[in-house]
Amino acid sequence: MPGTRQLDTPRTPSRAPGVAAAMSALVLAVLLASLDSTIVSTALPRIAEDLRGFDNIAWVSAAYLLASTAVTPLWGKLGDMFGRKRLYLLSTGLFLIASVACGLAQDLPQLIGARVLQGVGGGGMIVLTFALVGDIVSPAERGRYQGMFGSVYGVASIVGPLLGGVFTDQLSWRWAFLINLPIGVVTLVIAGRVLPAATRRTAARIDYLGALLLAAIATGIVLVTSFGQRWGWGSPSIVGLIVATVVLAVLVVPVERRAAAPILPVTMLTSRTVVFSSLIGFAANAAMFSVLLYLPTYLQVVHGVSATLSGVHMLPLVLGLVVSQSLAGRWSVRVERLRLILVTGMALNVAGLLLLGTLGAGTGTVALSAYFLVAGVGMGMVPMVVLTAVQNSVPAQDIGAASAVVTFARSIGAAFGVAIFGSLLTSDFAHRLHGLPVTGGFDPARPDTIAVLPSAVRHAALEAFARATGTGFLWLVPLVVAGTLLAFFLAPHRDTAKDAPVGSPLAQGNGERAPVA
């Protein structure tokens, strides 16, 4: 094709017999970590009832998100310093031990503590999985393999709540955690046998201060986004957290400049590819997780379908996401296509949000399926291509840290998008209800209670909720448009000599030895 060039990197490493087995272990790990952030959602009411903790039940989800986000930069840097395989096995083992502790918890404090530990392990599993792809797959094929992980996220977002409901109703909510054990053991066995072992070590001191600052920043952001609406956006607690987080963010740069082995190398903050890709990932994840979380709620409340059927209705979205992930990964083997894929994906995200912004109580199944398909295709084209662009722009020794930066930004984007969407949905719904005779057992904070309203009022309330949901999607459009504009100015590049997988001839030409499993 005129104007493009095929990367001159060898394909042999990606076709080695062990690559398929290694990727299967990594995919299972991503499935475990991503499922664990969704499978618990439908089990929360039963957990609150059994453990008598309704007032603090939100911490069951927030604890996992907070811990997994906070430790992401540290896991990424430690993997660069000491080898990713052993840390990957450690984080997976920690995740499984914590899963058992969650399943055996006898009260809410025990469960929340176990969820923190589980988040620490899960955060390591995710970022090290993404970084390990850089060790076992050539740069030309990273996009294709990274696409698998994005598809897993989409499937987990739909399957997770369904499994959580089945376990809660048919067995026990404890199985939402215990199911991780058999899958995780298989993952550990495969990973221990086939993942490449590190051949390079560093004697540099760990940047404890940088790690503490980044963890504190992540904690502040997650707490603000998770509890801003509950505590009040103008409350002293939230305002104080925002101020403290901003101050810590300002302190990070001078601290990391002085560190011998910084958790967040300052050079990454000056890399246009890393910074723009992280911001694009932030915007894309804010939209994606808002769609994945609130569309099932819309279907169940407005159209009256069960949790299982809402998953069936979401199949066009999942299909679009899975197919576009796969195709985007294959297309991104040419470095010049990365920007085109990201611009196209973000533009389709905008189109999907605009279509979802027209949702009403009377929107039909055919129209919904079309809207979901467009949104799914857009969501699938962005996340892993962003990660590939960043990995291919940094030296091999910084792949872990770079992967952690993007993963961190995407996690914060997801928390931010869901929090802002939830706040906008609640306020707009309450505004649209003004003047309606809604009394009795109806609670505006629980849209499922619309069913108790008299039929004369119920339809108007359902229309109000549907329109409020659509408005929430429209409010995300400016953020995604900004991400689209950034994609136009993204200049991904690839240094094949520095960025080849450690087992490839290019890496060996740089003086690195081929890894052994």
Banded model confidence at residue 355, pLDDT cuts 50, 70, 90:
very high
How is residue 65 annotated by DSSP?
Answer: H
Supply the pLDDT for residue 454: 76
Calculate what percentage of the chain has a pLDDT beyond 70.
77
55 pLDDT band (50/70/90 cuts)?
low
Cβ 426 vs Cβ 444: under 8 Å = yes
Q: pLDDT higher for 491 or 462?
A: 462
In angstroms, what CA-CA distances link 395 with 118, 267, 355, 457?
Answer: 31, 11, 41, 62
Residue-wise pLDDT for 212-225, tens only, equals: 888 888 788 877 87
Average pLDDT for the chain: 76
- The whole-model pTM stands at 0.73
Q: Is the pLDDT of residue 116 over 50?
A: yes
Answer yes or no: is pLDDT of 262 > 60.
Answer: yes
pLDDT of residue 2: 41
The domains of the chain, with CATH numbers, are 12-197+261-509 (1.20.1250.20), 207-260 (no CATH)
Report yes or no: 417 and 291 within 8 Å, Cβ to Cβ.
no
Of the candidate ranges 129-133, 158-162, 206-210, the one whose mean pLDDT is the lowest: 158-162
pLDDT in tens, 370-401: 999 999 888 888 877 887 788 777 776 677 77
User: 165-174, 241-250, 476-485, 492-501: which has the minimum mean pLDDT?
Assistant: 492-501
pLDDT of residue 425: 84
- The answer to whether residue 26 scores a pLDDT higher than 90 is no
pLDDT at residue 260, rounded to an integer: 73
Q: Could you tell me the two tokens for 39?
A: 């499978």
Q: How far apart are CA 247 and CA 112, in angstroms?
A: 28
Segments in 314-398 forming alpha helices (H): 315-331, 337-356, 365-380, 383-391
Can you give the pLDDT at residue 401? 73
Q: What is the mean pLDDT of residues 18-47?
A: 74
- On whether the CB atoms of residues 513 and 199 are closer than 8 A, the answer is yes
Q: What is the pLDDT of residue 175?
A: 84
Other Cβ atoms closer than 10 A to 324: 26
Higher confidence at residue 416 or residue 102? Answer: 102
pLDDT tens profile 132-179: 776 776 666 666 666 667 667 667 766 777 777 677 667 788 888 888
Provide the pLDDT for residue 202.
56
Helices (H), 83-179: 84-104, 108-136, 142-170, 175-178
Mean pLDDT to the nearest integer, 87-93: 88
What is the C-alpha to C-alpha distance for residues 271 and 255, in angstroms, rounded to an integer? 18
Which pair of structure tokens corresponds to residue 395? 């030296």
pLDDT at residue 424 in the model:
84
Of the pLDDT bands very low, low, confident and very high (cuts 50, 70, 90), residue 53 is low
Our CA angle for 498, 500, 502, nearest 5°, is 105
